[in-house]
A and B are shown apart, each in its own frame.
Chain A
Amino acid sequence: MENTRSIEEINEKIKTGKAVVFTAEEIISVVEEKGIKDTAASVDVVTTGTFGPMCSSGVFLNVGHPTPRIKLNEIYLNSVPAYAGIAAVDLYLGATALPTSDPANRNYPGDFIYGGGHVIEELVAGKEIRMEATAYGTDCYPLKKIDTSFRLSEINEATLYNPRNAYQNYNVAVNLGSKTIYTYMGVLKMNMGNANYSSAGQLSPLFNDPLLKTIGIGTRIFLGGGIGYVAWHGTQHNPGAKRAENDTPVYPGATLALVGDLKQMEPRWLRGLSFLGYGATMQVGMGVPIPVLNEEIMRSCAVRDEDLKAPVVDYYRGYPYKEGSELALVSYAELKSGSINIRGREVPTASLSSYAGAREIAATLKEWIQGGRFTLTALSAPLPSADSGVKMNALPQRDPDNREV
């Protein structure tokens, strides 16, 4: 479909404070009242948001050199190990990293009270982080050991780089077994005692641009309370997932890799989490503005929870052992009502993603755009979409002794 509005025109309106902006939730009633055509003619931008647990998140740090210099080999931040297999004082701290002393699931179900996500939250909050590191020592980097502390403002770079965020749809988890299980989808009570989901539904960024027409490499976004960018497609990107008539996938689909300067983010939107019996992770707040370039994009942004479906998956056997298929497809409207009907039973639902947070992020982004402090970017390159042929692979499991070398 031909564009009736350009990013440049929208940015001109943003700069003069004239841009018309709605959140992806507000736009639903506007479209219901005025229709797609009239709304597309009058609205410039629709803002989205999501605030859920996103394990594939972390931060690249350059902590600067001590005197004498050091080439970090093993490093711990507040006892949580970071990856130092890059340049001398560069490192990557992942959201799910655990202190080596954590008992994990030896004391089942483990508490996982503190991990990489918690370190990141404290770092963003401006707290002093203890750094213990060892090195083997070289002629150019002689120091072999250091025990010190630093604050975010005192180090060179802190770049949040999340390899997989903003999943376009996700499983609804239930437990068909006869004991409670502890998963990344929360505590699941036996015999379908509860059903946990994790998406903002109608407010979720990739549900509002299902075929990635406006979201691509270089798209400027709300990330962790500050400004970030779409860096790449996320890991496990699965744009070929089966789609409904409105182009939205009914299974986990596209994902995004996100990047941004941690120094301008807020601890409120990067929260360390502890999943009982599973591990530590981080809750990430992110939101994407969608430019209403034409009526087709407008129609996508008007999508409602009733029109978005997710698969109900058993996490007792089905998910871990790849057995069977989904038990049902349910809509986000049903999920958000508080219970869903599966196999004739009413099962109470709960979310792991905060809809209230998603709402606030979309509203904040709207405010930023209306206030002229956030302009939109044209994408530098598109991400692989439904027609790309990109699909997910499983890990080969074969005899390593007979491998080709």
Chain B
Amino acid sequence: MIKQKIVLRYPPHVVEQPTIYHLIKDFDLMVNILRADINPKKEGRLMMELSGSEKNYQRALEWLQELGLQIMGLEQQIIWREDRCTHCGACTVICPTEALAFNRPEMTVSFDEYKCVVCELCLKACPARAMETLVENANAK
């Protein structure tokens, strides 16, 4: 068994294809969608947790790549610009998963990208704008 949080990026020409249907039906994977959106350029982004047998999981990834989808780890989506962070801590009460945490007694902020669910609330809650998203998405201005 394998369980992975991944992000799929869809180029415009495949964004309307029912890929989730095939992941479930053809590859017998369990799909838990965390978030999905399509930007004005018709590029899609789908964040989900996949679980199933190792073999099916690998086959599914190969199939997705053949379709032209880009596959990334969820933890690569939000970037903490430590050089911009002033360690105030304002983000730590906004982050729902404690990926952004306040360390005591150091009184500094830390970011655990593996706990991040890419809700993106921190992007604007940070006054110094030290949180960035890697790629343009539907919510980016």
**A positions within 8 Å CB-CB of B:** 51-53, 109, 111, 113, 186-187, 189, 193-194, 196, 271, 273-276, 281, 283, 336-338, 348-357, 359
Contacts and interface: CB of A to CB of B under 8 A. Distances in A.
9 contacts: A113-B129, A186-B90, A187-B94, A189-B94, A274-B127, A281-B127, A283-B88, A283-B127, A357-B86
Nearest to B106: A356
Contacts of A348: 92-93
B102 to A, nearest CB: 7
B141 interface: yes
Contacts of B108: 356
Contacts of A194: 93-94
Interface in B59-91: 86-91
B127 A53 contact: yes
A276 B94 CA distance: 13
B115 interface: no
Given A186-B90, A196-B90, A350 B102 contact: yes
B88 A351 contact: yes
B87 A357 contact: yes
A354 B93 contact: no
B50 interface: no
Contact of B90 (A109, A271, A352): A352
A273 B102 CA distance: 20
Centre residue among B88, B94, B102, B106 by max chain A CB count within 10 A: B88
Contacts of A352: 88, 90, 127
Contacts of B102: 338, 350
A349 B93 contact: yes
B128 interface: yes
Contacts of A186: 90, 125, 127
Contacts of A338: 102, 104
Given A109-B124, A196-B93, A354-B86, 12 more contacts: A53-B127, A186-B125, A187-B94, A189-B93, A194-B93, A275-B127, A350-B91, A350-B102, A352-B88, A352-B127, A355-B107, A356-B107
Contacts of B89: 350-351, 354
A353 B88 contact: yes
